[in-house]
Chain A
Amino acid sequence: MATHEVHELLGMVRSCLWRARFIAAIRKAMWASAALMLLAVAVHMAARRVPIEAVLLLMSGLWAVLVLRAAWHRPTVAGCALWADRHLGGASAFTTVLELRGAAPGHASESARQWLENWVAARLPESLRLLAERKESMRLSRPLLSMLVCAALATVVLALPDTAPVSRQQALALPPSGIGDTSASATQAPTPDKLVGEIASALRSAQSHDAPERRDTGHANATQGGKAAVDKDPAATQSAPRPTGEGVGVAASPSGSAAEPALASGSAQAAGGGRIAGDGRDERSAPGMSRALQGTIAVTRSAARTASAPAEMQADMTQLATYRDDFAPPVAAVAHSSSEVAAATPPPATESTRLTPTEASYVQAWMKASARRR
């Protein structure tokens, strides 16, 4: 009879199943430990300080429960026989043998029972060989690695001081930060918005350093007249009014404003004259301001300046009308036009508008220097 051999096989199967059950419990405990440590880290970061001792205590309890549960549920003989039938080529023989041993003597044909016993006895060596060759993969590497990574993370994070509640209290207690509020910003980490603001202010300051130079350039253009502007910026000459040709005086020439790239927008600029060319700051690259807004601001400034401009500056607009071929002024206006035409001519240079030799040499030197720089 193969009774002894069958029990031996089932005992080996039981130890194999029990070991597999322990490994599964350990695997489950590792995953649970990793999850527990991640949870502790999250709580520590978000809500409150979590002591390491509490985490260790919880993990110990978890491991104890899982391992004891695996130890408590011992594989049954029927379960071992079923496993042997499935995995060791038993073909339902081991379970049938066990059932027949627990059944009444006349339950089955004696010859069939004997044939079954013989079949099992013949099958046992092969089943034992299969059991010995069976290599169950433990599959512990991933949970172990996860647990180690989570343990390292938890060790680092839980060892940190409890900063989350303080920062939250500060965030609740502090008013909205304004300009010059450096006390709160000194303790807080710079936010991206803040960084952007700082960068923008740094850029503005850099532009403001460049601004006097541009003002000087504009002023030089204005003082040099339309010739200098035409030489430097041919595109600006296309938009400049044609009547301002060679030798046009400084005060009456609108080409200085047309040559200014920041304010090249129509007759309002022409009305602004060279005064605007060197005065306005180029804010096209300023963050947070759209082009449309810039144009609006420029027009507004031009309009304001037009409104407050002196009478001789207003005469330029009238002068533009004299160049229209189809223009027919009214009779009343024709009587008055002689004085207006005289006023439209460039004013004669006076001593006050002419540059002194020192100033002229300074301007020429500056122009040469700027030309070399470009």
Chain B
Amino acid sequence: MDEGKRATPMTADPAGEGDFADAHRRLQDLRERLDHIIVGQDELVTHLITAVFAAGHVLIEGLPGLGKTQLAKALAAALGLQWARVQCTPDLLPADVTGAEIYLSASGGASSFEFRPGPVFAQLVLVDEINRATPRTQAALLEAMQERQVTHAGTTHPLPSPFCVLATQNPIELEGTYPLPEAQLDRFMFKLTVPFPARESLRKMLDVSLDAEPADTLQRLAGPADVLRITRLCRTVLLGERCKEAAVDLVVATQPNGTGANVDDRRHIRYGASPRALQALVRAARVRALMAGRAHVDVDDLGAVALPVLRHRVLLRLESELDGLDVESTLASIIGAWRRRL
């Protein structure tokens, strides 16, 4: 089922005025708590919370040792979510991810096959180095991400809710890897990059997480029900015509033959953002608005999530890449021009 179809109409889930205040407070608390644990990655934490409450999946790209696994564990612990980890290797099979039927023999001589769910049936799944899995395994995982269900031997098994996949990949050591196809990259709401922390953050990290894992002792701030409630509440955040037009303008500006961006930026683009990117943009902006204590979306919310939403959905021409141009700078130019037109 498409994510856009799952989004309920704004009038379908009437919420009280206190719900907005409570959701805002919980989101603020969660962000502050995670900022104390994952030191120096404030923006990463904010984007991750945004993706979880927007019912999206996140692809995290960063070097080893920057705290990606720690962040996933802390998020699961703070939200009280059941979490699982999959370390992808080339010999990982789809059944290792989605689950498999095993033969059970009862004491009375009766035997049967029973479906044993894989790690994808957790509420928060950390898929480490997803680009090291074979395309077959990747396809099984990404199908589960999109459909939120697993069909095995003719039986459909729905995935739990909330369901969020945090996949990581290493930007170096690409030998023996299977880069994700563009169609599968589009399933991720955000692609986040983990920057190296600043010097002050490194110094503070020694005080926080030198001898113990702070995620293990993190106090639970909410439960899965709260996550679902806030997710539904985010869908009632108001979206004015100005913001709708701005979101459409931004997605159109990424098209090679679109309007809005200047010609110099457009000529580098081979493929632009998809309509699914537009949906992800607005849903993420709604969560950002709620985190800011508003029940309406501003164009600044769209601009704040534009880069992680569009980063993995825009492809540059080969000539431009050979010239040393990257997606980040091109998108930064497009988003800057889009902001100036607002």
Q: Which residues of B contact A115 (CB under 8 A)?
A: 17, 20, 294-295
Known: A109-B14, A111-B16. A99 touches B236 (CB 8 A): no
Q: Which of A86, A106, A111 contacts B236 (CB 8 A)?
A: A111
Contact B242 A95 (CB under 8 A): yes
A109 CA to B15 CA, complexed, in Å: 7
Q: Which residue of A lies closest to B12 (CB)?
A: A109
Say whether A349 faces chain B, with CB atoms less than 8 Å apart.
no
- By a CB distance below 8 angstroms, the chain B residues around A119 are 293-296
Quick check: B242 and A82 within 8 Å, CB to CB? yes
Q: Does B19 lie at the interface of the complex (its beta carbon under 8 Å from any beta carbon of A)?
A: yes
Q: List residues of chain A with CB within 8 A of the CB of B293.
A: 119
Please indicate the chain B residues that have their CB under 8 angstroms from the CB of A109 in the complex.
10-11, 13-15, 236, 238
- Chain B residues near A112: list those with CB within 8 A: 10, 15, 20, 236-238, 295-296
Supposing A91-B298, A119-B295, A119-B296 touch, asked if A96 and B238 sit within 8 A by C-beta, the answer is yes
The interface bits of chain A over 84-123 (1 if a CB of B lies within 8 angstroms of the residue's CB, else 0) are 0110000111011001100000111111111110110000
How many B residues, CB 8 Å from partner? 25
Chain B residues with CB under 8 A of A108: 10-11, 236, 238
Q: How far is the CB of B26 from chain A (nearest CB, A)?
A: 15
**Structural contact, A85 and B10, CB atoms closer than 8 A:** no
Question: Could you say which of A91, A95, A107 has the most chain B C-beta atoms within 10 Å of its C-beta?
Answer: A91
Write the nearest CB–CB distance from A140 to chain B, whole angstroms.
27
Q: In the assembled complex, how far is the CB of residue A2 from the closest CB belonging to chain B, in whole angstroms?
A: 14
CA distance A111 to B22 in the complex (A): 13
A99 to B238, CA, bound (A): 10
16 contacts between A and B (CB under 8 A): A86-B342, A91-B296, A96-B238, A99-B240, A99-B241, A109-B11, A111-B15, A111-B19, A111-B20, A111-B236, A112-B20, A113-B295, A115-B17, A115-B20, A116-B238, A116-B296
> Is B241 within 8 A of A100, CB to CB?
no
Task: Specify which of B10, B242, B299 lies most central, judged by the most chain A CB atoms within 10 Å of its CB.
Answer: B242
Please tell me which one of the listed residues A92, A99, A110 contacts residue B299 in the complex, with CB atoms under 8 A apart: A92
A116 to chain B: which residues have CB within 8 Å? 238, 294-296
Determine chain B's interface SS by DSSP, over half rule.
loop
Cβ of A8 to closest chain B Cβ, rounded Å: 21
Q: A95 contacts which of B13, B19, B241 (Cβ < 8 Å)?
A: B241
Q: How many A-B residue pairs have CB under 8 A?
A: 75
How many angstroms from the CA of A144 to the CA of B20 in the assembled complex? 54
Contact present for A92 and B236 (CB under 8 Å) = no
Residue B300 at the chain A interface, CB threshold 8 Å: yes
B297 within 8 A of A: yes
Q: How far is the CA of A22 from the CA of B69 in the complex (A)?
A: 61
Query: In the complex, which range does the number of interface residues on chain A fall in?
Result: 20 to 34
Further 5 A-B residue pairs, CB within 8 A, beyond A85-B298, A109-B10, A109-B238: A91-B294, A92-B296, A107-B10, A112-B20, A115-B295
Rounded to whole Å, the gap between the CB of B82 and the closest CB of chain A is 30
CA distance A93 to B239 in the complex (A): 10
Residue of B nearest to A119 (CB): B294
CB distance from A103 to the nearest CB of B (A): 10
A105 to B218, CA, bound (A): 44
Q: Name the B residues within 8 Å of A99 (CB-CB).
A: 240-241
Chain A residues with CB below 8 A from B14, complex form: 109-111
- Smallest CB separation, B306 vs chain A (Å): 15
Question: Within the assembled complex, what's the spacing in Å between the Cα atoms of A108 and B241?
Answer: 13
With a CB–CB cut-off of 8 A, which chain B residues contact A111?
A: 14-17, 19-20, 236, 295
Cβ of A94 to closest chain B Cβ, rounded Å: 9
Asked if B230 is at the interface (CB within 8 A of a chain A CB), the reply is no
Tell me the bound Cα distance from A360 to B279 in angstroms: 122
A82 to B242, CA, bound (A): 9
CB pair A91 B300 closer than 8 Å: yes
Chain B residue nearest to A100 in the complex (CB): B238
Q: Please name the residue on chain A nearest to B295 by beta carbon.
A: A115
- From B24, which residue of chain A is reached at the shortest CB distance? A115
Question: A113 touching B238 by the CB < 8 A rule?
Answer: yes
A111 CA to B14 CA in the complex, in Å? 7
9 nearest CB pairs, A to B? A115-B295, A96-B240, A109-B236, A91-B298, A112-B295, A92-B298, A96-B296, A115-B20, A111-B15
Q: Are B19 and A93 in contact, with the CB atoms below 8 A? A: no
A residues in contact with B342, CB < 8 Å:
86
Does B59 sit within 8 A of A, measured CB to CB? no
Q: Which residues of A contact B294 (CB under 8 A)?
A: 91, 93, 115-116, 119
Residues 230-260 of chain B: 1 if any A CB is under 8 Å from the residue's CB, otherwise 0?
0000001110111100000000000000000
